[in-house]
Structure 1
Amino acid sequence: MNILEAFIIFPVLTGPDGGWALDPDPVQELDLDLVLEPDLSAVLRRVDPRFLSVTIDASLAAEESFMALLSSSKVRTLSSALSPSFLRFGGTRQDFMKFKPQRRKRNSKNPGSSSSTSSNTTVSCQQLLPWVVEKQLKMNWTLQQQILIKEDLKRKFPTFSPPEVTVDLLNSFSSCCGFNLIFGLNALLRTSENVWNSSNAETLIKYCQSRRYRMNWELGNEPNSFEKKAGIRVDGHQLGLDFLRLRELMSRSGFYRDAGLFGPDVGQPRDHRTDILGGFLQTGAEAVDAVTWHHYYVNGRDTSLEDFLDPEILDTLTSKTNEVMEKVKLLSPTKPIWLGETSSAYGGGAVGLSDTFVAGFMWLDKLGLGATLGLDVVMRQVLVGSGSYHLLDENLDPLPDYWLSLLYKRLVGPEVLKVRKRSGSARSKRVRTYLHCSNEKSYSRGSVTLISMNLNQNPSRISVPLVLSSSSLEAFILQSDRLDSRSVKLNGRLLQMLEDETLPDLRGTRLPPSDLLQLPGFSLNFFVFLDVQAAACL
């Protein structure tokens, strides 16, 4: 019997409001898995308020019409709920993208369109995609996905030229949803001396400045793979000089003098990749506002459901992050470090896994562990678009990781707290916990949020000290009927949109003080301790 066949949902108890409730008489035969000893006196570290951020892959722009999906009322409703956030537009195809500065007649009825007069910078957030057009685009996207997959497999990426309207739509989307846009420029436009040819970037920057678009910039995606995908090798030293050139262009523009520049978006440490990062830092560190790298746990083409629940695989994030941090601290110790692109499985994700409930264990653990290790921003690949690791599916409906991300945004603050864990059971490696101050937009100062997950099939118990056990709390328990399901329940209630512009009520269940927390098998959990008055959070 494999783990999927063995998966059964732990019985959900019914509270007075029909929701989930804590068992007042915990099952005695359960072992105690963890004993928590939190330090609430001081903040361990603070992450950026936009810590959980999202990406849109440049493949969405390979065929211009699909960019209009960003004007869908459903997409904008779901995206706005994840604000504040960075929105990174980039990926493999950004290095095959050449901006097309061709004026085109714009229909004022076209969602996301803008006036042809460059001084008009008004963004209308009420111009939304007609449902008939949205329906047709979603049907066509299925075919487009197959084209993109074939290109990925053959590693043959045709050059494409997004027109001005693509940039207009990105700006409209990010502005209306409360995102800070990061636009990835093509680093494979190079001279005969293998120096970055900045002429097309200059054209794009001038256009964006004429429109007064507030944006940030990147240059190149995973330079360690340039040779494999384009037959061009760029070492870290030259890449750093290219970034200095881009920073010079931004400064000359005036408008983008203080805009963010992030890079080098190198793949996770392996072989020569750390050498690229080291060379880049030696010449280009002063150009960037944060050092970015990419991380995926497994290969999407040969992974298994068991991998998504393997604590040893989850722990690989620690070694990879420490390797990057050691390099950055040695050569540029003051620079923040970001995961500029990340998800569960590379190669577009794992079909039938990366878009299901089980992917949440990798995602939530990465958020908790990444913040503890010292990452300031984590950008989820991808909000909407290609692959199997998207937050919104092909019908633009939210997948389990979307609901998990939304709860994280609402419940978890940027202050990371230190918590010591003592093991009470051999299964403790499969119970993972992280502690933050609660989000002050949702809860009063002094409250704390415990992030926890149970990778065991059977329920587990956590013991908390008096400072927490004397507080009333709210519980948010995410479960699903199957690990490979595309649906998720919060405290026993199925999560789904009420209509295209209305999210469900994400209420927790209020529980009385208790020194024991019981986690259902295969569950993702947030416990908000309301009355703690933690000094670190005041």
Structure 2
Amino acid sequence: MFSNRLVHPWRHERNLRKQNKTVSVTLNSMTPITKVDPRFLSFSIDISVLAGGYWWEGSKGTQRGLGTERVEPLDLNQPKLDLLIRALGPAYVRVGGSEADKIHYFTSLNPPSTTPSDVLTLTQGMWNNLHNFCQRLDLSLMFTMKYGLFERGQHGIWQAHEVEALLKYCDAHGQRIDIIELGNELNAYWAFHGFTSQPSAKNLAKDYDTFIRCIRQHSPTSRIAGPGSAFWPRIGEAIKPLSNISSIFLANLEEKIDIVDWHYYPFQSSRSPVRTRAATIENILSPNSFKDFEKYSMQLEKWRNDYQPNAQLWTGETGSAQCGGQAKLSDRFVSCFWWADQLGRGAKIGQKVMVRQSLIGGDYALIHRQSLKPNPDYWVSWLWGKLMGECVFSVQSNDPFVQVYCHSAKKEGKCTLLIINMSPKPKIMHCHGFGSKKKRFEITADSLTSKKIRINGIKPKFKKGDVRLKDFPKLSKLNLVSPYSINFWCFTV
């Protein structure tokens, strides 16, 4: 019996009265409404994890946007880690995060800007290992270059020397950076580095123009992303006029960028000093919690259309809850619901790539950093990669607690319907406009806070280094979805 004991009973009963026993899903047309990047589902490795900085495991709070505990640098040469990443398929891997703006590059001629005990250094060995890691696992590297200007008098006159030196090293060693951005969440410098560190939109545009010219000269095949602004649930870019800089930045940018990207977390963990929407089971299972993502995405799309019409829109960083994720929620079954929805919703509204924070490290990781065991969200990602193709179709559901999304399948002539049932009751599905149903895959668990999930009733396991769709029992073709379940239904078209 599925346990929903952690949902407040009175709110649970109120929500039940709003829900339907049957759900009608209509495929409006087989003409795609948009198309996503082949590496749509991507992920990040935070620079703090890669290089051994301040991170979230063991931290009870935050210090300037970081965890309070320092960790050992990540070993990228672990066969089990390779196996888990390879199973997710080709992806972009973003290496960024708050410490990207303070890190010392091994190629830099300038002395570190912090005291020796606090210096975080990207060593030559780390950099070479990162490129080897990307090459053997078919990962395209997205890298956050250091902005690192923390006083207003420095803004608008950023110098490219450190970036040039690193790019020249890459050129000499045949290393490619596919996407490059400058600085991490530059509209939130005030929160991470103090109020006087916040650059104005116009000065930031000047510095970004300098950066773009540097990249075009020294790494002409790299694409450029920006501004990577942080948006909070309910309040967007937060403090006006201090941090609402994205539209003015784009308006003042003289050079062209390839990608307009942004960062968004739908919830905040208990570590976060500011919580506009706390990470709770009730919030995670509320359809209203998903609306802000769409709202802010539409804002970015308008600004993109106005100022950088040829750029793609990317969600450059996202996770279940800010500040490392919420313990005992972000790494549990309940987290699968927001993740499945954001993948489907993001693709539907035109986000070409979704970069998950993080691949490894923190409560919000796809893979547990110490044990290398996959968390529940990993299996949503795995099924998405196996079953959801690049073409996105328009579908509608008449029940807000049953979210639906449809993509082409990996094989021609088929499509996959993603059905997310956030209700404690089973639902009878009436699907209109689809062909015949071929296969069903269903993710369930014993409770919302379970660390283990099941696919078609059994726990997924790697056998001889692989896990395959045919490893799971076939489900009947009944038009029924289980309570609290995430479903992938495969149809002919």
C-alpha distance in 2 between matches for 1:230 and 1:512: 56
> Pick from 299, 302, 309: which aligns with 1:323?
299
Q: Which has the larger radius of gyration?
A: 1
The equivalent of 2:126 in structure 1 is: 166
Could you tell me the percent identity over the aligned residues?
Answer: 27
Q: Is the 8 A contact 2:7 2:282 kept in 1?
A: no
Asked if the contact 2:4/2:447 (under 8 Å) is kept, the reply is no
Q: Which moved more, 1:42-51 or 1:329-338?
A: 329-338
- Correspondence list, 1:17-416, <5 A: 32-63=21-52, 66-101=72-107, 158-189=118-149, 192-194=153-155, 195-215=157-177, 216-231=179-194, 232-253=197-218, 256-268=219-231, 269-271=236-238, 272=240, 275-284=244-253, 286-301=255-270, 302-385=278-361, 387-393=362-368, 394-416=370-392
- 1:502 paired to 2:477: no
How far did 1:6 drift?
7.0
- In 2: Cα distance, 1:328 partner to 1:455 partner: 33
Alignment of 1:466-485 (within 5 A): 467-468=433-434, 471-485=436-450
Provide the C-alpha distance between the structure 1 equivalents of 2:483 and 2:476, rounded to a whole number of angstroms.
22
The superposition leaves residues 199-258 of structure 1 with CA deviations (integer Å, 9 ceiling, x where unpaired) of 2111111111111111131111111221232231212222222222222222322xx212
SS of 2:292's equivalent in the other structure is helix
Contact in 2 for aligned 1:33/1:431 (Cα 8 Å) = no
Distance in 1, Cα, partners of 2:20 & 2:246? 46
1:235–1:279 contact (8 Å) kept in structure 2: no
Whether the aligned pair in 2 keeps the contact of 1:344 and 1:354 (CA below 8 Å) is yes
Report the alpha carbon displacement of residue 102 of structure 1 after superposing the two structures with TM. Answer: 8.3
Distance (Å, rounded) in 2 between the aligned partners of 1:98 and 1:249? 19
Q: SS of 1:184's equivalent?
A: strand
Paired residue for 1:463? 430
* Alignment check: 8 A CA contact 2:101 2:183 kept: yes
- Contact persistence 2:101–2:147 (CA under 8 A): yes
Question: How far does the alpha carbon of each residue in 1:16-42 deviate from its partner, in whole angstroms, 9 at most, with x for none?
Answer: xxxxxxxxxxxxxx9543212213331
CA change 1:174–1:417 in 2 (3 A) is: same
Q: Distance in 1 between matches of 2:192 and 2:31?
A: 47
SS at match of 2:104: coil
The verdict on how the C-alpha distance between 1:159 and 1:230 changes in structure 2, with shifts beyond 3 A counting, is: farther
CA positional deviation for 1:347: 1.4
431, 435, 440: which one aligns with 2:402: 431
Contact 1:101 1:203 in 2 (8 A): yes
The 1-side partners of 2:5 and 2:146 are apart by 42
**Structure 2 counterpart SS, 1:464:** strand
User: For the structure 1 residues 285 and 481, does the alpha-carbon distance in structure 2 shift closer, same or farther, using more than 3 Å as the test?
Assistant: farther
Task: Quickly say closer, same or farther: Cα 1:319–1:252, change in 2 above 3 A.
Answer: closer
**Is the CA contact (8 Å cut-off) linking 1:98 and 1:200 kept in structure 2?**
no
> Contact conserved, 1:57 with 1:382, CA < 8 A, in 2?
yes
The answer as to whether partners of 1:496 and 1:504 remain within 8 angstroms in 2 is no
Shift of 1:502: 3.4
Normalised by the length of structure 1, the TM-score is 0.77
| Aligned match of 1:4 | 5
Q: Structure 1 residues 339 and 175 mapped into 2: Cα distance closer, same or farther (>3 Å)? A: same
Q: 1:190 to 1:309 in 2, by over 3 A?
A: closer
| Residues 41-74 of structure 1, C-alpha deviations (whole Å, 9 max, x = no match) | 3111111111111000011134289445211001
The aligned residue for residue 449 of structure 1 is 416
Structure 1 stretches of at least 4 aligned residues deviating more than 6 Å after TM superposition: none
Residue 527 in structure 1 maps to residue 492 in structure 2? no
Contact 2:101 2:184 in 1 (8 A): yes
Cα 1:4/1:40, change in 2 over 3 Å: same
Post-superposition offset of 1:190 = 6.9
Do the aligned partners of residues 62 and 68 (structure 1) sit closer, same or farther apart at CA in structure 2, a change above 3 Å counting? closer
The amino acid of 1:182's aligned partner reads: M
Structure 2 distance, partners of 1:383, 1:100, is: 25
Gaps of 5+ in 1: 8-29, 104-156, 533-538
Other structure's SS at 2:75 match: helix
Unmatched segments (≥5 aa) in structure 2: 9-18, 54-70, 110-116, 271-277
Q: Which moved more, 1:373-382 or 1:505-514?
A: 505-514
Residue pair 2:460, 2:467 contacting (<8 A) in 1 also? no
| Farther off after superposition, 178-187 or 243-252 | 243-252
AA aligned opposite 2:292: T
CA displacement at 1:315 relative to structure 2: 2.1
CA contact (8 A) 1:474 1:509 kept: no
1:332 deviates by: 2.3
Residue-by-residue CA offset, 1:400-443 (whole Å, 9 max, x unaligned): 1111101101100010001233x3xxxx211110111112xxx3
Give the Cα separation in 1 of the matches to 2:382 and 2:227. 28
Task: Please tell me whether the aligned partners of residues 412 and 436 of structure 1 are also in contact (alpha carbons under 8 angstroms).
Answer: yes
In the alignment, residue 280 of structure 1 is paired with which amino acid?
F
**1:54–1:379: 8 Å Cα contact kept in structure 2?**
yes
Aligned residue for 1:275, secondary structure, equals coil
SS in 2 for 1:267: strand
Q: Is the alpha carbon distance of 1:481 and 1:59 closer, same or farther for their aligned partners in structure 2, counting shifts above 3 Å?
A: same
2-structure distance, mates of 1:166, 1:374: 35
Cα distance, 1:333 vs structure 2: 2.7
| Counterpart AA for 2:187 | N
Task: Please state whether the residue corresponding to 1:286 is helix, strand or coil.
Answer: coil
Kindly tell me the number of residue pairs found equivalent between the two proteins: 438
CA distance in 2, matches of 1:340, 1:94: 15
Distance 1:506 1:395, change over 3 A: farther
